[in-house]
Amino acid sequence: MLSKKKNINNINVLLSVLLPLAILIFFSSTSIIYSINFISKNEILSNLSSFLIASFVWLLFYNKLREIIDIKLLNLITCLFLTKTIINFLYIYYFQLNLFDYGSSNDYEISAAGDSGLAHVSILKFISEAPNLIGKLFHNANYYNNKGTLIVYSLIYESFGNFPTNTIPWDSLVVAIYSLIFYFVSGFINNNQKNNLIPVAIFILPAFFFSPLLYRDIYIVLFLSLSLFIVFNNNENTKFYLKFLFLIILSLILFFFRKFYFILPIIFFIIYQFFYNIKL
């Protein structure tokens, strides 16, 4: 159950969700790890550095969330985060790479690896055409229909090395985060012990537990879940106009991932107001 001791603030949650992105921007812009050739050019060491940084980010979430969430549930989500990461690494290394007869995930190309290959090739092209963050935001990448994916995954590539497998720990981290966001949303609706099943059920859905490389949908789910969180969170310290502003920001972010989805946060808000008429 959610603790009654603390109000969950929209601003804090929004900033927390953007924390992994800020860390990736830092590592990609400074090239602290990428500039170490024996790490960034070696897939295993590159994966290890990506996993350690993603785990560090989860540890930051863990230490903050333990004040709000049952520690047993947090420990369970931590185990699922680690299990998902390890299983997906094993799946790629012992099945997919052998299936495609690739020596490295960096060999991914369109004909054999399908959507993952197309995404990988597009990310490498995107990095060469837009080497800095501002350039990435305004670059017209008309060869791929999901610019948000190109931006996020290019930051991971530029942080740790140009291997699609480097995205596995970060995909797991995102699933862990939005599973808990849905847990918060369920607590706003009906705060009881059964809600503990919700993040676990979401986390182990096959589509999210065994996810292909460079899978954009988990990021769309993250921002949609955050939209629902803001809509349902009736913290009296949050002003109506701030709530609407946050939803506009999320709409802009979703526009980069799938243009049609940018309207969904506002639709959630309108439907909530219409059916429940709760004073914000």
Give the residue-averaged pLDDT of 14-27. Answer: 86
Task: Look at the block and give the residue holding tokens 């060869």.
Answer: 143
**Structure confidence at residue 49 (pLDDT):** 97
The answer for 77, left when phi > 0, alpha when psi is -120 to 50, beta otherwise, is alpha
Report how far residue 188's alpha carbon sits from residue 4's, in angstroms, rounded to the nearest whole number.
Answer: 11
| pLDDT for residue 234 is more than 90 | no
Confidence of residue 5 (pLDDT cuts 50, 70, 90): very low
**Structure confidence at residue 280 (pLDDT):** 46
Which pLDDT tens digit goes with each residue over 189-213? 777 777 888 888 888 877 667 778 8
Report how far residue 182's alpha carbon sits from residue 75's, in angstroms, rounded to the nearest whole number.
Answer: 17
Which pLDDT tens digit goes with each residue over 84-122? 999 999 999 988 888 888 888 888 887 777 788 888 999
Q: How many C-alpha atoms does 272 have within 13 Å on its Cβ side?
A: 22
Which pLDDT tens digit goes with each residue over 126-158? 999 988 888 888 888 888 888 888 999 999 999
Which pLDDT tens digit goes with each residue over 39-89? 999 999 999 999 999 999 999 989 888 888 888 999 999 999 999 999 999
| pLDDT for residue 270 is more than 90 | no
Q: Is 71 buried (19+), middle (13-18) or exposed (0-12) by CB count in 10 A? A: exposed
**Structure confidence at residue 236 (pLDDT):** 56
Confidence of residue 4 (pLDDT cuts 50, 70, 90): very low
Q: How far is CA 47 from CA 58, 67, 77, 96, 173, in A?
A: 16, 31, 21, 16, 14
**Structure confidence at residue 10 (pLDDT):** 64
Q: Write the DSSP assignment of 7-54 as a string of letters.
A: ---HHHHHHHHHHHHHHHHHHHHH-TTTT-HHHHTSHHHHHHHHHHHH
Give the residue-averaged pLDDT of 178-186. Answer: 89
Classified as helix, coil or strand, 238 is: coil
156 contacts 250 by C-beta, under 8 angstroms? no
Comparing 167 with 113, the larger pLDDT belongs to: 167
Give the residue-averaged pLDDT of 238-262. Answer: 84
Six-digit token string for 170: 């970060």
Q: Specify the range with the lowest mean pLDDT, choosing from 23-27, 79-83, 168-172, 184-188.
A: 184-188
**Structure confidence at residue 277 (pLDDT):** 59
